[in-house]
Amino acid sequence: MIVLYHCVAARSFRPLWALEELGLPYQLKVLAFPPRAVDRAYLGINPLGTVPTLFDGDLRMTESAAICHYLGVKYGPSDLVPGPDEADFGMFLNWLHFGEATLTFPQTIVLRYERFEPPERRLPQAAEDYRRWFLGRLKTLEPLLANQPTMCAGRFTMADISVGYALLLAEYLGMAPAFPPSVSDYLARLKLRPAFQRACMAEREGAEAEGISATPAPLLAAP
């Protein structure tokens, strides 16, 4: 049985969404955020203290985009992972990693220096610079998504999960009004996917079962 450790609205939403897209059975363990501070025992499960952690038998993985890729290949073949024989194979890998390395990382600087640090250590200039940096990166998506419904390969893939989560996080951070129209439309389309909605429901039910808030508020205001 696959086991996924998840916090509401965190990057572990990527593997949760991927599991639902693939229709795989899994056990979801929803933790309060940040698990490193709230549940010290979690460091025994993942010494980094971060989510996701996914176990598949003896295998432990802690990188959200890599987990999506792994699940699609291991439990595929699946249309969610373009193969090396496809013209968009390289672009698939590019966008899969772009979603985390280029679109999510700058948002963690915003979160840290605008919200997580104690007031005397906050850096409004750093937060504002990386907010702009993130929005600047969306300019590469704007023309692409004005001409095609998904990131690559002419269909929905794990790259859309990776980029889609980064856009969701930006929405939680209040940046959606600055999205280019084609990017807003893309995010709206992703949210209509039944597997996305099932993942949201699994997240909500898992949080409620643990007595944890099912809104992104704790992620956005972590100590």
Which residue's beta carbon is nearest to the bound ligand GSH? Answer: 50
Task: Count, in order, helices (H) and strands (E) of the chain.
Answer: 11, 4
Q: Given candidates 2, 51, 96, 145, which one binds ligand GSH under the rule CB under 6 A?
A: 51
Nearer to ligand GSH by Cβ, of 21 and 100: the residue is: 100
- Alpha-carbon distance of 49 to 98, in angstroms, equals 23
Identify whether the C-beta of residue 46 lies closer than 8 Å to the C-beta of residue 16: no
Q: Given candidates 100, 114, 160, 203, which one binds ligand GSH under the rule CB under 6 A?
A: 100
Identify whether the C-beta of residue 172 lies closer than 8 Å to the C-beta of residue 216: yes
- Alpha-carbon distance of 170 to 208, in angstroms, equals 24
Q: Nearest distance from residue 52's CB to ligand GSH, in Å?
A: 6
Cis peptide bond prior to 218, omega within 30° of 0: no
Considering only 23-31, 60-68, 175-183, 194-202, which stretch makes contact with ligand GSH by CB under 6 A? 60-68
Q: How big is the CA angle at 24 (ends 195 and 50), to the nearest 5 degrees?
A: 80
- Alpha-carbon distance of 199 to 68, in angstroms, equals 14
- Three-class SS state of 114: helix
Q: Is 64 in the site for ligand GSH (CB under 6 A)?
A: yes
Q: Nearest distance from residue 43's CB to ligand GSH, in Å?
A: 10
Q: Given candidates 52, 72, 106, 206, which one binds ligand GSH under the rule CB under 6 A?
A: 52
- Alpha-carbon distance of 215 to 113, in angstroms, equals 21
Site string for ligand GSH, 17-46 (x = CB under 6 A): -----------------x-x----------
Q: Is 10 in the site for ligand GSH (CB under 6 A)?
A: yes
DSSP state of 8: T
Q: Given candidates 3, 24, 39, 49, which one binds ligand GSH under the rule CB under 6 A?
A: 49
Q: Is 11 in the site for ligand GSH (CB under 6 A)?
A: yes
Q: Is 63 in the site for ligand GSH (CB under 6 A)?
A: yes
Residues that bind ligand GSH (CB under 6 A): 10-11, 34, 36, 49-52, 63-65, 100
